[in-house]
Amino acid sequence: MNCRSFSEQRVRWLLVFTVSAVMVYGFVSWSSAASAAGQDRPRNTQITAKPTPTPTPAPKPAQTTPAQTQTPTPAQQSTPRPAGVDRIAPTLGEPPPPPRLKPTPTPTPPAEIDPNDTIRINADLVQLHIRVIDRNNRPINNVQQGEFHIFEDGVPQPIESFSREEVPISYGLAVDSSGSLRSQLQSVIDAGKTIINSNKAGDETFLVRFISSDKIETIQDFTASKEQLMDGLDSFYTEGGQTAIIDAVYLSAEHVSEYKRGDDSDRRRRALIVITDGEDRDSFYKQEQLFAKLREEDVQMFVIGFINELDKEAGFIRKSPREKAVSLIEKLASETGGRAFFPNSVADLPQIANEIIRDLRTQYVISYNPTNKTPDGSYRAIKVTVDQPTNSDKRIALTRNGRLARKENPNAPKAPPVKMPNAGTPMSKKP
């Protein structure tokens, strides 16, 4: 009996435990399903929310429209339209000023002057620097004074002085520093150093770097210091701009011509060496003004033209850029009695530099007294010939093609005669 009741009680507890387990399992399953259903609902909302922002910005193109309205604003700042239609033509102001000259010391007066002496200065004397070469461009150094013949406007002129001695040289080295010579610049600098290294006692050089009309810079004024000149050459660099070769030559030749011109003992030779591609794009001065200026100066020009990169195609009635450059360079040399060089590559520069050195050193200096004394400012053509010895190479004399006669104003008052003070009489000083 007791065993039976114990078995029944055991079965009853087992049933209670089983029912409880089933109930707990059902409750847990329901809770899991509910939470899973709750998690699925927000996830579905987020998935559908992604398409919804897309329509929401869809009205925002209307708000993006102002941003598109601002985009043309920079386009208006670049002004493509005014450039073609309403653009004001650029104007060039005053011509670039010539380089400033260093003050020259006042020449020391002679120790003794006789007050009764009459000092005569022949302002009409014309000095010529003449090169004599053969047909192979080799210099001829044995021509005598009597073998030279000078003509002005076809009229023979009397020779007053003749010399073959070396005299000091004042010359400028003007280098085109525009972008067109970028690849040749280092070789140009090296050639310039070769020329400068040949300078002798008394020689002086100045350096000019030019691009456009407003960038014609004196890097180093006249000096005999090779060290300063080398440093100046090393400072050259290229930059963009509209090349103004005519302006650069005009100002540089003027500077060479005026340097130490007032010295009583001035016997120096003057030259200008120009390195460029020869294409003038935006000069203030015209060619006519330049060559009129060169006729007033006694400056020989040696021009090295890198023209190979210029366009060879010519128009129907216009010369090509290369033809224009060659014409300008050759005229600069021929009008001044100098030389033009057209290197095929930078490898030719050392030889060209040595030829320029030789030409500067091997020249005859001849002065003549013109028979036409009329001070009318007219142009006088000059021609020099030399006798041709038998059984010898042909001699060719090269010098400038002409000069401008001085011009006087007949109505200008003449300066009163000045009487020199007696020796030992102190000159009165102004308070």
Contact of 307 with 324, CB cutoff 8 Å: no
Q: What is the pLDDT along the chain (431 residues), one digit of tens a residue?
A: 555 565 667 767 777 777 677 676 666 565 555 554 544 444 444 434 444 444 444 444 444 444 444 444 444 444 444 444 453 322 223 334 444 544 545 555 444 445 555 445 456 789 888 989 888 888 888 899 999 999 999 999 999 999 887 778 899 999 999 988 888 899 999 999 999 999 998 899 999 999 999 889 999 999 999 999 999 999 999 998 889 999 999 999 999 998 876 654 566 789 999 999 999 998 999 999 999 999 888 899 999 999 988 877 766 667 888 999 999 999 999 999 899 999 998 899 999 999 898 888 878 889 999 999 998 889 999 999 999 988 888 899 999 899 988 887 666 555 444 443 444 444 444 44
Cα first-last separation, the chain: 163
Alpha helices in 268-320 (DSSP H): 287-296
What distance in Å separates the CA atoms of residue 182 and residue 186, rounded to the nearest whole number?
Answer: 8
What is this structure's pTM?
Answer: 0.63
Burial of residue 65 (CB within 10 Å: 0-12, 13-18, 19+) is exposed
Contact 217, 96 (CB under 8 A): no
Is the Cβ–Cβ distance between 300 and 92 less than 8 Å? no
- CB of 152 within 8 A of CB of 186? no
